[in-house]
Structure 1
């Protein structure tokens, strides 16, 4: 076995090549980029790098509407037809011609009808001649009867001769009446033929415009069980109606008298305004979708709108002007790591305690006392005149009596419940709320428009109602929640009332630090909400601690 001699000096250590020149700078640049990325995503602070987005609370209008399409029609459309058959000899009008009631539109060949009239006239003359003949027979029979009567009175002739003369006289009189009936019959036939002759002239039944014409000169009109339509007239187009198809889900909110705004493709820059005049109960089902026809009338200045045009309509269900409104995104926003404490039905929408201690302390007032006193002061807030005050005062007095009776009926039970609840909020009395709303409904028709707007504000304050919501504003660079009462919405903005907000306040609509792990307070609050360890206590005065 041959061994190879090992020499320690023959082993060589590997050499590491160090980057030089451009390679060195590229490596340093890559390390710098990685360091900046790590700092940006993991090490930078959350202060002003994620600012909140805000928008000012403004006054404006809230319009809630139903959108649908419809078709324009004239208010009155009349189809002019022919009750007789015949050949058209003249057509005196054309499309778009304005006509007056009684104006001649077309003429049918009257030869057959004129001949029938002449024949009836001849038959009347013949019947009248028959009357004259019958009258002559009466005169002859009367003379014969007189002779027989003279002879019978002197005993010259027998009774049989007198009876025969009398029968002849009665027969002659009957012949006269029969001849006169023939005359009347022929006169009626003449009137019928004259009417038929008149129908050869087609006249306009109303004032209007010719929107359709189905005949030409020389055309034969055949009238059978169905009347042949020759012309279609639309009444004055200065006012039109649109037939709007409204989905069954929205028809419950549509009422007669609501305003309607619509446009047509022919005049996209023009807005037309109408009013709902009819809601037809006949449903129309198409592809399993049920819709109802809503009729809205509108003025047509310059007769720009034409029958058959398609309308893009909006039925205004509710319109509030000059109200505080906020974007809907502000109502959906909740800062990261916080939970909005929305007031319950019995809680005050303006913050502060509304628990059992407050309920017990104001049991004597409650809904019956405190709100009753404010209701009594409503005449001053509405600025009623003497006539209005005389009508409103009895309504207020009646409601106050109903409220007192309601609280006497529930008596100490409510007080005991409040004490036993140990600080739980109590919900509003439904009977009291219904009484107030009924009174407001009776008072509203007695007021002017400006007074009605004030009344609706008082309704929200006294009669309760309305959903509750929470908005967030910045105070000392920290989000603070403000409870408010929500009104109508148009999909983009929502009316608000109550709370501490006023016009110009900046509400948070988005932004802010990103969500991290749930805080201990948020976890505890979630446990209480899920586990049922009491409700959300206290007022809605700020974010969770």
Structure 2
């Protein structure tokens, strides 16, 4: 067998070396390109601060302060004047209805009753005397009336007898009236005598005692306050002062959580019982009283404690939320935010079907018949098609305007879609609601009354909801996305629309390194 010559081996080895060198160069070049792209992407992503879209709970609460008090507090006073001779209860004592609390010296009223009884006896004696005179006058008149028939006495004597009888009758009536008058006066004194015994009008607990034994109370102008009784400390109330800017969110039945300084490690619960209309103005600040019912069955809470309360006006569980900073971000460079797409009104990007998608999600929760579902699908598809045509027309108008250098086009279409922004007027929102009602008229016609009302409420909520544009970071660039805002706790806000959990929304731009 013959062996290859040395020149052939050398040529093969040199070709392999050249091929290996070329491969190495290409590998290095590819690695350099990859590293450059990664550096560019990292640099672009590092140019923005972001916040993730998270799923969680949002609790909207109104903070206020107030004071705990008994549900019903009764002030016990005295209707008569006199010296307090005895006090039978003290602070914190439990009392029952009708229980004697204190006594006032009754001697004055006992003497007045004795005097009244004597006057009544005297009036009765006068009545007996008047009745005797009346009987005598009656007999005298009767005799003279018979004699005048036989003309044995003068007619004038009969008239005098009749006048004497009338006078006797009047004296009897006067004596009877005097008896009634003296009896009534005596009864008034008996009532005042009974008032010398101070009794509890309710079952409850003595909160305050304002008198001491031997003290004289005077009730000439108004009843002096002797005791304050809390009717039932198992049920208490808080009267909160809520600012006028927040009172519109407060409704009866909302939950209230509160703390008191006496028990800083405990949190108590209550419920809004009443929103009163009696506004109070102090230092040009208008507040409204809100009454909160509190269960105090264990007797922990005490009247008069200062309360720091939060009224839970809204709670959303398991919703998408994002930091509020993402809602305020606006890119300084329109080219970095999607160019023409960023300049387009947010309602027009992605087909402008945000409200339709939200309505579709709501309708899915209703128990629709196949006929109703088919009617909704037909109306929704037709509405999407109309909005897609509007979007394409807007894009064409925008491109024409940009080529001409005139910026955003103005016109009826622009004004109409602008109504979905945060600054949309009530009139625009009303027109939007009417348009959606027209678009889904066939579907609404298939619903019963309760279903129709539910869909109408949802349409009203969607049309009045605030919609803003946020910027999602994609491949190192902020891409505009329209979202609908919901509840906010001041730090995070509920959002829905073209975002999902885990998306990174731009909250700001980082300062470039020098």
Q: 1:432 to 1:469 in 2, by over 3 A?
A: closer
Q: How does 1:47-58 map to 2 (within 5 A)?
A: 48=42, 51=46, 56-58=52-54
Partner of 2:289: 293
TM-aligned CA deviation for residue 172 of structure 1 = 0.9
Task: Report the 3-state secondary structure (helix = DSSP H, G, I; strand = E; otherwise coil) of the residue aligned with 2:208.
Answer: strand
Partner of 1:383: 367
Partner of 2:5: none
Partner of 1:72: 68
What are the superposed Cα offsets for residues 288-313 of structure 1, whole Å, 9 maximum, x if unpaired? Answer: 44433333222223222222111112
What are the superposed Cα offsets for residues 247-290 of structure 1, whole Å, 9 maximum, x if unpaired? Answer: 3433444444443332211122223222040324242314x444
Q: Distance in 2 between matches of 1:250 and 1:241?
A: 20
1:250 pairs with 2:240? no
The one of 267, 272, 276 equivalent to 2:269 is 272
Partner of 1:123: 119
Q: 1:135 to 1:384 in 2, by over 3 A?
A: farther
Q: 1:61·1:322 contact (CA, 8 Å) conserved in 2?
A: yes
1:105 pairs with 2:126? no
Task: Report the 3-state secondary structure (helix = DSSP H, G, I; strand = E; otherwise coil) of the residue aligned with 1:83.
Answer: coil
Partner of 1:459: 459
What are the superposed Cα offsets for residues 70-118 of structure 1, whole Å, 9 maximum, x if unpaired? Answer: 1122222222111222111111111111212211110111111111112
Q: 1:259 to 1:344 in 2, by over 3 A?
A: farther
Q: 2:257·2:267 contact (CA, 8 Å) conserved in 1?
A: no
1:426 pairs with 2:394? no
The CA RMSD over aligned residues, in Å, is 4.1
Q: 1:433·1:463 contact (CA, 8 Å) conserved in 2?
A: no
TM-aligned CA deviation for residue 475 of structure 1 = 3.7
TM-aligned CA deviation for residue 424 of structure 1 = 4.2
Q: How does 1:10-21 map to 2 (within 5 A)?
A: none
Q: 1:430 to 1:75 in 2, by over 3 A?
A: same
Structure 2 portions without partners, runs of 5+: 1-37, 370-378, 380-392, 398-409, 420-427
1:303 pairs with 2:299? yes
Q: 1:434 to 1:379 in 2, by over 3 A?
A: closer
Partner of 2:314: 318
Partner of 2:91: 95
1:347 pairs with 2:356? no
Q: Distance in 2 between matches of 1:119 and 1:250?
A: 66
Q: 1:471 to 1:223 in 2, by over 3 A?
A: same
What are the superposed Cα offsets for residues 208-237 of structure 1, whole Å, 9 maximum, x if unpaired? Answer: 211100112222222231321111112201
What are the superposed Cα offsets for residues 134-169 of structure 1, whole Å, 9 maximum, x if unpaired? Answer: 212111111111111111111111111111111111
Partner of 1:469: 468
Q: Distance in 2 between matches of 1:48 and 1:194?
A: 98
The one of 203, 206, 210 equivalent to 2:202 is 206
Task: Report the 3-state secondary structure (helix = DSSP H, G, I; strand = E; otherwise coil) of the residue aligned with 2:463.
Answer: coil
Partner of 2:144: 148
The two structures have a TM-score, normalised by structure 1, of 0.66
1:234 pairs with 2:218? no
Q: Distance in 2 between matches of 1:272 and 1:459?
A: 35
Q: 1:514 to 1:379 in 2, by over 3 A?
A: closer
Q: Distance in 2 between matches of 1:47 and 1:144?
A: 137
TM-aligned CA deviation for residue 329 of structure 1 = 2.9
What are the superposed Cα offsets for residues 372-409 of structure 1, whole Å, 9 maximum, x if unpaired? Answer: xx79x987742279xxxxxxxxxxxxxx9xxxxxxxxx
Write 1 or 2 for the structure with the bigger share of helix: 2
Structure 1 portions without partners, runs of 5+: 1-43, 359-366, 386-399, 401-414, 518-545
Q: 1:382·1:455 contact (CA, 8 Å) conserved in 2?
A: no
Partner of 1:263: 259
Partner of 1:490: 489
Q: 1:100 to 1:509 in 2, by over 3 A?
A: farther
The one of 281, 284, 289 equivalent to 1:284 is 281
Q: 1:179 to 1:77 in 2, by over 3 A?
A: same
TM-aligned CA deviation for residue 472 of structure 1 = 3.7
Q: 2:238·2:292 contact (CA, 8 Å) conserved in 1?
A: yes
Q: Distance in 1 between matches of 2:478 and 2:300?
A: 55
Task: Report the 3-state secondary structure (helix = DSSP H, G, I; strand = E; otherwise coil) of the residue aligned with 1:194.
Answer: helix
Partner of 1:177: 173
TM-aligned CA deviation for residue 174 of structure 1 = 0.9
TM-aligned CA deviation for residue 336 of structure 1 = 7.5
TM-aligned CA deviation for residue 128 of structure 1 = 1.9
Q: 1:432 to 1:473 in 2, by over 3 A?
A: closer
Q: Distance in 1 between matches of 2:493 and 2:219?
A: 62
